[in-house]
Amino acid sequence: MSVLKEFKEFAVKGNVIDLAVGVVIGGAFGSIVKSLVDDVIMPPIGLLIGNVDFSNLFFVLKDGAKQAGPYVSVAAAKQAGATTLNLGLFINALVSFTIVAFAIFMLVKAINRLKREEAAPAPASPATKECRYCLSAIPEKATRCPCCTSQLD
């Protein structure tokens, strides 16, 4: 039963719940970035390069057993059983990764800045002196040690 108890304590800790929320939000963010790259960024780049659809930019390494090339799309090549080198899909994945990495970098940078502001030095504590009997720190103006109750000069 102790293993179940330990697992329950682990599962309801704040870090595990934060991690679960992070994974769900990360998945949603990944799909948003994929759509941004595939639907917004790459079409204008492909248009500028010369009407290239990056999702269908591929090279046939070996014709398919079902049908010989040329193939109109990666999906048609896959359906024919062809072996392809999918450069366009790789470029899309590379751009997606760059956007996600930059967004995470900016997030970590903002969190680090907030942590530095939180860790600002505390206001200076009042001047203290050391009790010569018990060596505890006591306020400078104290006449009696609060720890050992010794009378101080």
For residues 20 and 61, the model is more confident at 61
122 pLDDT more than 70: no
Give SS3 for 59. strand
* pLDDT per residue as tens digits for the range 22-33: 888 888 888 888
* pLDDT per residue as tens digits for the range 59-93: 888 888 888 878 888 888 888 888 899 988 898 88
CA–CA separation, 30 vs 23, rounded Å? 10
126 pLDDT more than 70: no
* Cis ω before 123 (30° cut-off from 0): no
CA–CA separation, 103 vs 33, rounded Å? 10
Strand partners of residue 108: none
Number of C-alpha atoms within 13 angstroms, CB side, residue 16?
A: 7
Tell me if the pTM is above 0.75.
no
Ranges assigned E (strand) in 36-136: 59-62, 83-85, 128-130
DSSP character for 125? P
Token pair, residue 82, equals 């062809």
